[in-house]
Amino acid sequence: MIVAIVACYNSAETIVPCLESLNGKVDLILCFDAKWHGFPYPSLYSDDKTEFLINCLNSSWLPIQYIKLPSPIDQVRMRSVMVGSVPEGNWILNIDADEIITHWDGDIKAILESTKENGFRVCQKYQKERCATTTLRLVKKTQGLHYTNDHREVEDNNGVIDVHRFPVLTNIVIDHHELAANKRMRPYMEEYKKWLLKYENEHRKT
């Protein structure tokens, strides 16, 4: 089974095309709503139509679960809870709420069922070119899988997982939705990125 996980805080502008792009590709979508610790916006949960739109899309042909987490929540903690919500042995597709799947070529499930790999890098559009992602995108849920001090670093009970060593699966391409650059939360996200960089640098020193 392939389970998509999506952090969906205040993503009404892009959540529908994101979820619709997953239709017929994954078996289940888990949408997690909570404000990240340090995010400079007052509402603890989505205060737009995000929850309403997700619940409207939920159906037998596109099964979606909307999940509220304790808020505010550390981003590393939230991402760990997200991957921890998927049962072991299933495949996790990590996609942002302002992204869409633009290519899903071939029988991806058959590839995942037959592989001995525990993860793949996928392709992402960058300035109209395809390049392999260096963050955790497609991974098999192993025992103890979680994020570490950095929201881009993961490990499981066997130790640190080096995503750079995952082979590239060119069959899958992810791109940002055209509205992503101008969405309502964009200015807050830019401020949050500055805060997060400072926070993680300080955290590594302790």
Residue 53: exposed, middle, or buried by beta-carbon count in 10 A (0-12, 13-18, 19+)?
Answer: buried
Token pair in block for residue 185: 């939360």
Report which of 160, 46, 25 is spatially closest to residue 105, judged by C-alpha positions: 25
Residue 144: exposed, middle, or buried by beta-carbon count in 10 A (0-12, 13-18, 19+)?
Answer: exposed
Backbone angles phi, psi at 23, to 5 degrees: -60, 130
Using alpha carbons only, give the angle 30, 32, 36 rounded to the nearest 5 degrees: 155
Give CA 36 to chain center in angstroms: 14
Q: Parallel, antiparallel, or unpaired: how do β-strands 28-33 and 64-68 relate?
A: parallel
Residues forming a β-bridge with 124: 131, 174
Q: How many domains does the chain have?
A: 1
pLDDT of residue 151: 72
Residue type, 38: G
Inter-residue contact 139 to 167 (CB < 8 Å): no
Asked if omega into 72 is within 30° of 0 (cis), the reply is yes
Instruction: State which residues form the domain around 190.
Output: 2-205
Radius of gyration of the CA atoms of the chain, in A = 16
pLDDT in tens, the chain (206 residues): 999 999 999 999 999 999 999 999 999 999 999 999 999 999 999 999 999 999 999 988 889 999 999 999 999 999 999 999 999 999 999 999 999 999 999 999 999 999 999 999 999 875 556 677 778 899 999 999 999 877 778 999 999 999 989 999 999 999 999 999 889 999 999 999 999 888 877 766 54
pLDDT of residue 128: 56
CA–CA dist 186, 45 (Å, integer): 16
CATH code of 50's domain = 3.90.550
pLDDT of residue 53: 96
